[in-house]
């Protein structure tokens, strides 16, 4: 649907891009896969806040950030995105799950490891495996 919309409005987007900032966002999202970052933790816990801060302090285009606190919001999202239900803290510590292209990396409960994963370029892991 996004591609069809871009095709229909492509010439207008080229002639007056300043008039269509949200279309530029759609174009960007259609050209790049979003990165889903789920932080499982207690909202006011220091380790959860540190992980959230680490994500917010970095420019990560097309990111989707969720807080999985085990509450009603997580249950609600889990009805539409079943994988969200399984995202919980490890050993009582805030835990980050980073997913791209329908695949999640192993969860990390260490802030330094999260920082390392956030610093990686897209497809860097795939290139390392080749």
Q: What is the pLDDT of residues 57-87, one digit of tens each?
A: 999 888 999 999 999 989 998 999 888 999 9
Strands 63-68 and 35-40: parallel
Residue recorded with tokens 């174009």:
27
Sort 50 into a burial class: Cβ within 10 Å, 0-12 / 13-18 / 19+: middle
Q: What pTM was computed for the model?
A: 0.73
Note the pLDDT tens digit of each residue in 13-58: 778 777 777 777 777 777 778 889 999 999 999 999 999 999 999 9
Residue range(s) of every CATH 3.40.30.10 domain in the chain:
33-129
At residue 121, the pLDDT reads 65
Fold of 33-129: Glutaredoxin (3.40.30)
- What's the whole-number average pLDDT of the chain? 85
CB 70, CB 21: distance < 8 Å = no
Please count the other Cβ atoms lying within 10 Å of the Cβ belonging to residue 65: 13
């Amino acid at each position: 649907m996004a591609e069809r919309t871009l095709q229909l409005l492509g010439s207008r987007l080229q002639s007056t891009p300043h008039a269509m900032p949200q279309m530029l966002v759609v174009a960007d999202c259609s050209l790049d896969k979003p990165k889903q970052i789920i932080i499982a933790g207690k909202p006011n816990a220091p380790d959860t806040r540190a992980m959230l801060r680490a994500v917010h302090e970095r420019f990560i285009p097309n990111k989707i950030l969720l807080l999985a606190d085990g509450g009603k919001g997580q249950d609600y999202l889990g009805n539409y995105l079943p994988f969200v239900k399984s995202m919980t803290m490890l050993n009582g510590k805030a835990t980050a799950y980073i997913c791209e292209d329908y695949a999640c990396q192993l969860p990390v409960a260490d802030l330094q490891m999260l920082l390392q994963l956030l610093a990686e370029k897209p497809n860097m892991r795939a290139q390392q495996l080749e």
